A and B are shown apart, each in its own frame.
Chain A
Amino acid sequence: MRRRLVGLAAIVLLLPVAAAAQVTPERLVNAAAEPHNWLTYSGTYASQRHSTLDRITPGNVGDLEMKWVFQSRTSHHFQATPLVVDGVMYLTQPPNDVVALDARTGRVFWVYEHVPSPDARPCCGFTNRGLAIAGDTLLMGTVDAMVVAVDGRSGGPLWKTQVADPSYSYAITHAPLVVGDKVIVGTSGGDMGIRGFIAAYDVATGAEAWRFHTIPGPGEPGHETWEPCTPEMEHCDPDAWRTGGAAVWLTGSYDPETNLTFWGVGNPGPDYAWYQRPGDNLYASSVVALDADSGELAWYFQFTPGDRYDYDAVQIPVLVDLDVSGTTVKAMLWANRNGFFYILDRVTGRFLTGNPFTRINWAEGLDDSGTPIQTPQGPDRPTYPGKQGGTNWYSPSYSPRTGLMYFSTWEDYATVFDSAPVEYVPGQLYTGSRNRSPVRGVPEPPAVGRGHINTWTAAVGSGSVLAFNPVSGEKVWQWETYDVMNSGVLTTATDLLFVGGREGYFQALDARTGDLLWRAVTGGNTLAAPITYEVAGRQYVAIAAGHSLFVFGLRD
C-alpha cells in the first residue's frame, strides 16, 4: 500500500501559528502596511526602522518582561536582525546557520547549517546580519562569499551561488535585499584588498543578473579618480584600483517610485596609507544609486573623497519625504561615519544640506556641493572623529511622528592617524595602520568585541543616542552613555525608542524627550538593531546582545 502523509489529515482548521501566504514583491513594497511582520532588514524599503505598532506605550513600557531567549551555539559576534513572517521568525546564527523559530515562544522549528569553506578569510569575524525573503525563499550571504537560498517552510536548500573567491577575503556579512525577482548583495573585505561590487541574482535560480563594481575599471567613468602615479609619488601603486576596497557590508534601501536601490560603500584601501592610491577613489566612501533591474549607476555622492580615515559610508540610507517650508523633498537622510549629517535628493543625488553632529576636525565644513573642506591634522595630532567614526553601521531610525532622526554616536572620540606603506598579500589585512589612541595609557575602544572590563574608559570617548532634526540641522536631545555605542535604534508609533548598548543594557527612551523609561540587563554587547512585531495580538520587541537574541513583551 502506498500512501502519503496527506492521507493522515482528517481535518485541518485554522492554526495558532503558521507560515501562511508568500512574501510577494507587492508585500515587500507595502511592508509598512503589515507592521505585525518584519519583512526586511530595516523593516521597510525606506529603512526608517519605525513601526506603527502601538500596544507598548510610554504608559506600560515599565511592564515589559523577557518572554524568551534564543542562545546561539557559537562564540562569534551575534549581529543578526531577525525577520518575522506571520508568526515565524527567521534568524541567522553565526557564521551561517538559518534558524526558523516560533516568534511567540522562541522554540525552534528547524536549523539549516551552511559550513563555510576553510578558505573563508573575512576581515572582521564570522559575522552575519540577517536574511531576506522572497516568496517562500530565504536568502543569505555567507562568509565564504556565496548567496544561499533556503526554503522558508522546510528549511531545505534550494541553490547556492559562489559570487567571489573567499580566499581573497571576499565575504558577505549583511542581510541581502530582495527587489522584485532579484536578490541584491555586496561584498565585505574592504580592509583586505578586495575590489568591491554589488550584484543581483535571480531569486528562483541564483543566476547572476547584474554586477556593479564599486571601483570602476579602466575605461569606465570614475576610473580616473584612481589617479596615475608620478615618479615623485613615493609608495604610489599604479594598480591601486585592483585592491582598492570599496566594500559593501550593510543592506541598502529601495525606492519603488524610481526603481533605484541605494547602497553605502566602504573605505578605499589601504585604509590609512592613502599615498598608495592618489585621487578621490570613487566610489569608495560614497552612496551609489543603481537601477534595480539593470544595476546601472543613476547617480553617486561621495562623502569623503580620498578617504584616509576609514570613514566607510556603510550606513543605512534612510528614505524620507521631508516637508521643507511647504515643499515635499524626496530626501535621503544620512548620518555618516565622518561626523556629518547629510540630506540628499534621492532622485538626483544632489546635495541639499550637511551639518556636523559630533566633534570634527578632519574638515572645517562642506562646500556648496557637499564636498568636505579637508583639514588633515599633523603628525601626533588627534583627528576627530576617530577611525570608528562619529557613528558607524548601527541602524538609525526616523520617526515620521516626531520628524527626527535617531542614531548612536561616539562622542569626543579621536584617533592619532599614522600609517606605514603596506604590501598587498591576498587574504591579509591591508590597512597600513600605525594608529593609536590620543590618550596615553588608554587603549582605543574596541570596534566590536568587548570584554567585561572597560579598560578604555570615557577618557577616549563616550556614547549617545542622538535625536537630530534633519531640517534645522540641530540636535534636539542627546541621551548619553559612559561607553561608546554600537546599537541600532528602533522607534514606534507610541513615541518609544528602543536601543541596546555596549554595556549590556536594553533601554526604552521617550522619543520626544530622550528620557529613560525602562531598561533591562542582557549582559551582552549589542551589535545589532532592535525590531518589533506582533503575534496573536501581542507586541514583542527583540534585540540581539552577546550571543543571544532577547525578546520582550508586556506582562500577561
Chain B
Amino acid sequence: MRFRLSCVAAALVAGVVGQGLAARAAQGPAPEYERADIERGAQLYDEFCSNCHGSEGDGVGGVNLMSGQFRHASTDQNFRRILTNGIPAAGMPPGNYTDADMLALIAYVRNMRDYDGGIVTLGDAARGRALFQGRGDCAGCHRVAGRGSRLGPDLTSIGAVRGAGSLRETLLDPTGSMLPLNRPLRAVTRDGEVITGRRLNEDTYTVQIFDERERLVSLDKADLQELTVLATSPMPSYAETLSEAELADLLAYLVTLKGLVPQ
C-alpha cells in the first residue's frame, strides 16, 4: 500500500513529523513524499551514502543531514544536481541513479530525522518543558537558548538533529546512548592536579575538555600522568523516575527544540 507521510504522521509520530515540516519551512515548502519512496531511500542511503555520511547523517564534518538544513540543496532540483554531479571539492563523488532512486534518496534524506522516530508517543510539550526545568532537573546540566547549565551538551537544536526515538533511548539509557565524544574525562597532571570534565575533542598529542568550572581547557598528553575516559554517563536514567506519560511530555518538548528563531 502506498500512502503519504502525513498518514503515517497521524498514526504514529504526529508530533515529530509535524515539527519536522515546520522546521523546513525556512527553506520553502516541504514537498510530500510517498512512504514507499522514503523506505526505498533508506535502503539506498545505507548502500550508497552511509559509508561517508554515517547512519545518523553526521559522518561528514560540518554536515548534518538530519538537521533539515542544506547549504547546497535547498530545493529538490539542487539536490538532484548534487546527487548527479557530487561535490568534487568536498570529496563527494558523482552518482548514477535512476530518477526513481534519486527521488527515493531525496525523500529519505529530507525525512531522515522523522523516519528515525519509530513508534514514539509524544505528550504535551508545555508540560514537558516544565519537567525539563523542574522535576526532571535537565536544566541542571543542559542549556536551551542560553538558559541552564553548560555542563552537558547544549540542547537548543537537539530536536533538529535527533529523532524522538533516539531521544527516548537516551532518556532511558544515557550511558548506552552517550556519544563517545561526550564522555567524561579525568586527567591528572604531572604536578598532581586533577582535572575533570566533558571531552570536546582529542588527538594523539592533546585533549580538549569542558571542565566542571565551565571552562575550556586544552591539555598536552605529555604533561599528564593519568588520563581516564569514563564510560558511564553522568546523566541519570529516567526509566524509573518518570512515568510513561511524563516521558512522552518531555519528548514532546525536546523535539520542539529546533534552534533559535530569528527575532
Name A's B-contacting residues (CB within 8 A).
1-20, 73, 75, 87-88, 97, 100, 102, 104-105, 107-111, 113, 115, 117-118, 146, 149, 151, 153-162, 206-207
Contacts and interface: CB of A to CB of B under 8 A. Distances in A.
B123 interface: no
Given A5-B198, A8-B196, A12-B194, A157 B186 contact: no
B100 to A, nearest CB: 27
A105 B218 contact: yes
Interface of B: 26-27, 61-62, 67, 69, 71, 74, 89, 137, 140-141, 143, 145-146, 149-152, 154, 156-157, 184, 186, 193-198, 200-201, 203, 206, 208, 210-220, 223, 230, 234, 236, 241, 259-263
Contact of B62 (A18, A111, A161): A111
Nearest to A147: B262
6 contacts: A8-B212, A12-B211, A15-B215, A151-B154, A160-B261, A162-B263
A5 B184 contact: yes
A155 B213 CA distance: 15
A207 B262 CA distance: 11
B262 A161 contact: yes
B156 A3 contact: no
A5 B234 contact: yes
B206 A102 contact: yes
Contacts of A7: 234
A8 B230 contact: yes
A9 B260 contact: no
Most chain A CB within a 10 A radius of its CB, from B184, B195, B259: B195
Contacts of B236: 1-3
Contacts of A73: 61-62
Given A10-B186, A157-B157, A159-B145, 18 more contacts: A2-B236, A5-B152, A5-B184, A5-B197, A5-B212, A8-B196, A12-B195, A12-B211, A16-B219, A17-B218, A18-B215, A19-B216, A115-B69, A118-B74, A154-B210, A155-B154, A156-B156, A162-B263
A542 B26 CA distance: 38
Nearest to B89: A75
Given A118-B74, A151-B150, A160-B263, A113 B62 contact: yes
B214 A153 contact: yes
Contacts of A149: 146
CB-CB nearest 8 A-B residue pairs:
A156-B154, A102-B218, A158-B146, A18-B215, A154-B150, A162-B262, A13-B193, A9-B212
A478 to B, nearest CB: 40
A402 B18 CA distance: 65
Most chain A CB within a 10 A radius of its CB, from B146, B154, B157, B194: B146
B27 A11 contact: no
B184 A153 contact: no
Contacts of A102: 206, 208, 216, 218
